[in-house]
Amino acid sequence: MAKRSRRLICGLLALLWFLVPHSADARIVINEVMGKPLHQSTAGRYEFIELYNSGNAVVDISGYILTDSADYADMCSDPLPTSTADHEGFFIIPSGTYIGANDYLTLWHTAIPGVTDNNKSVVYSGANVASIVINDHGDDLHILRCQNGTPVVVDEFVFSFDFNPNISLERVSADDSSNNMSNWYESIKFTEEDTEGATDYIRG
């Protein structure tokens, strides 16, 4: 190939890199964590993890993995591991799951009629080796995507924190580090007593 053609192709590829939105630049962060829903914390019921896309393009998160295991190095292998060393869980986000630009998606432990049955909610049941349960005193939460069979961390929140009942942790800034505890505050949106039907969940 002539030198000039090679230069032209390289130039076009570089231009494409800047013009086409690519997932490596997408900014998906863990935005809110409900670790201790009232009365249900040890079973995990009603726990949720909210994701936020702070980028300007829709992001396809199909196939991304949510896990509360620190043992995720082999999680993208085929077949997926049948157990993790620390007996924590994982969940493969179903195909056709997208987060719009500057939009949110909530991953829920439990299906709640009227709350989780919409296209901005996904219930993490089924394809996980053990149910994901957020420890009431902190946990490991990782959002991974698989690249050539290797997990790439999209975002992670590894924290030690004593949850107050029915009070979630909300992120302050999408740009600051997830693992900086001063980037989180306790939400007061969930102080209403939860009921079994959880119809009093206030989202925002």
Residue 156 makes contact with Ca ion by CB under 5 A: no
Residue 67 makes contact with Ca ion by CB under 5 A: no
Q: How far is the CB of 60 from Ca ion (least distance, A)?
A: 27
Residue 41 makes contact with Ca ion by CB under 5 A: yes
| Sequence-distant (≥ 6) Cβ neighbours of residue 171 within 8 angstroms | 29, 30, 31, 32, 52, 178, 183, 184
Residue 71 makes contact with Ca ion by CB under 5 A: no
Q: How far is the CB of 165 from Ca ion (least distance, A)?
A: 10
Q: How far is the CB of 176 from Ca ion (least distance, A)?
A: 24
Please count the other Cβ atoms lying within 10 Å of the Cβ belonging to residue 8: 12
Residue 194 makes contact with Ca ion by CB under 5 A: no
CA distance 57 to 103: 10
Stretch that binds Ca ion, among 87-95, 113-121, 173-181, 196-204 (CB under 5 A): 87-95
Tell me, residue by residue from 107 to 146, as one string, x for binding to Ca ion by CB under 5 A and - for no binding.
Answer: --------------------------xxxx--x-------
CA nearest neighbour of 167 among 49, 38, 46: 38
Q: How many residues bind Ca ion (CB under 5 A)?
A: 10
Task: Quote the Cα angle for 52-53-56, to 5°.
Answer: 155
The upper half-sphere exposure of residue 16, i.e. CA atoms within 13 Å in the direction of its Cβ, equals 6
Sole residue written with tokens 């570089």: 14
Which residues contact Ca ion (rule: CB under 5 A)? 35-36, 41, 68, 88, 133-136, 139
